[in-house]
């Protein structure tokens, strides 16, 4: 079946126009060497995948946590005077370890002071004067949401940040954040999400998987949903990547069959169908794809520019239900 290509590849986070796929840069400068990472970014900019996702702790488990933002900063400074203007840049604060630590039990967190310090560090590494989207990376229950939202609001007023969002928030904490008076409110929520539902009760902490309740709250509050780890590290397509145990349930075989049947029908691979489905399901979830080679950027871009017919989306929805 020949698919229609969509020209509306632009989605929104508040007032920001963003591309239909975000480029995940978590391994840039560590597992993905700087030169290859720069090539991925070149291709991303060339095709239009201009929504880039980083954090102020990527990837501390393989380095010190400065690497991803530093590579992106190198790209901005080496690709001409307007390079930065072409990109919608998202970074995250809150989950960077305090000096002298290297684990998530000792993070800098989301107090007003810690947020300001961390944003200053990110802007220095990224060599830019603003972040388009600033996320609170993980929840910080030790700090009142009013304090975090207050400093996020100040950063917007000061022009250092354009829009704000959260990541890894439970439904209850999202409700609390929405009830908290603040000048600016969260416009994006970034959770773990893919086609295969995770086994109920799986322990993913500090990561939070998107659930139906959060989906409903976010939709009614006009919060753009963003989903990380959509490809399960390549498990939908690669024999060298077994399905993670938490995603292997009694229904996963049937769901994978549905995915494969749609993929065969439309000439995409199953991972590409996941990406296209995420953007076209009744409640869209914009995928963030981790890339380690320029071809993976092209593959993801191809996927999100294809329109799956309604009956195939319905088939995928039915198999997933």
Ligand X SMILES: NC(=O)c1ccc[n+]([C@@H]2O[C@H](COP(=O)([O-])OP(=O)(O)OC[C@H]3O[C@@H](n4cnc5c(N)ncnc54)[C@H](OP(=O)(O)O)[C@@H]3O)[C@@H](O)[C@H]2O)c1
| Residues that bind ligand X in the complex, under the rule CB under 6 A | 24-26, 53, 167-168, 190, 207, 228-234, 237-238, 271, 288-292, 296, 299
Alpha carbon distance 214, 229 (integer Å): 18
Q: How far apart are CA 179 and CA 293, in angstroms?
A: 42
Instruction: Output 154 or 234, the one with its CB closest to ligand X.
Output: 234
CB of 311 to ligand X, least distance (A): 25
Residue closer to ligand X (CB basis): 154 or 246: 246
Q: How far is the CB of 297 from ligand X (least distance, A)?
A: 8
Q: Report the residue number, 65 or 230, with the smaller CB distance to ligand X.
A: 230
Give the nearest distance from C-beta 3 to ligand X in angstroms: 17
Q: How many CB atoms sit inside 10 A of residue 257's CB?
A: 11
Report helix angle 67-78 to 34-47, nearest 10. Answer: 60
Q: How far is the CB of 36 from ligand X (least distance, A)?
A: 10
Measured from the CB atom, the residue of 229 and 306 that comes closer to ligand X is 229
Nearest to ligand X of 196, 258 (CB atom): 196
CB of 290 to ligand X, least distance (A): 2
Checking 36-41 for CB contacts under 8 A at 24+ apart, the result is 36/292, 36/293, 36/294, 37/71, 38/71, 38/74, 38/75, 38/78, 39/294, 40/291, 40/292, 40/293, 40/294, 40/296, 40/297, 41/71, 41/72, 41/75
Q: Helices (DSSP H) in 79-138: which residue ranges?
A: 112-126
């Amino acid at each position: 079946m020949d698919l229609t290509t969509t020209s509306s590849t632009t989605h929104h986070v508040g007032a920001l126009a963003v591309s239909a796929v975000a480029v995940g840069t978590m391994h840039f400068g560590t597992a993905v060497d700087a030169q290859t990472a720069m090539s991925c970014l070149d291709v991303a900019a060339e095709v239009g995948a201009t929504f880039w996702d980083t954090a102020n702790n990527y990837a501390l488990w393989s380095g010190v946590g400065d690497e991803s933002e530093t590579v992106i900063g190198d790209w901005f400074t080496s690709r001409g005077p307007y390079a930065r203007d072409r990109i919608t840049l998202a970074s995250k604060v809150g989950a960077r370890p305090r000096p002298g630590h290297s684990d998530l039990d000792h993070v800098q967190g989301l107090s007003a002071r810690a947020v300001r310090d961390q944003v200053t560090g990110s802007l220095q590494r990224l060599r830019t004067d603003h972040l388009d989207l600033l996320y609170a990376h993980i929840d910080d229950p030790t700090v009142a949401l009013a304090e975090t939202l207050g400093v996020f609001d100040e950063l917007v007023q000061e022009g250092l940040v354009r829009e704000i969002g959260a990541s890894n928030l439970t439904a209850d904490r999202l409700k609390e954040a929405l009830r908290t008076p603040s000048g600016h409110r969260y416009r994006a929520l970034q959770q773990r999400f893919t086609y295969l539902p995770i086994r109920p009760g799986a322990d993913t902490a500090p990561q939070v998987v998107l659930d139906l309740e959060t989906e409903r709250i976010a939709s009614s509050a006009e919060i753009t949903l963003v989903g990380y780890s959509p490809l399960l590290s390549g498990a939908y397509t690669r024999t060298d990547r077994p399905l993670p145990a938490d995603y292997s349930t009694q229904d996963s075989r049937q769901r994978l069959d549905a995915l494969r049947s749609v993929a065969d029908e439309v000439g995409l691979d199953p991972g590409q169908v996941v990406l296209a489905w995420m953007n076209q399901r009744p409640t869209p979830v914009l995928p963030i794809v981790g890339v380690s080679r320029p071809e993976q950027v092209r593959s993801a871009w191809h996927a999100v520019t294809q329109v799956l017919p309604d009956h195939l989306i319905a088939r995928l929805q039915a198999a997933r239900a």
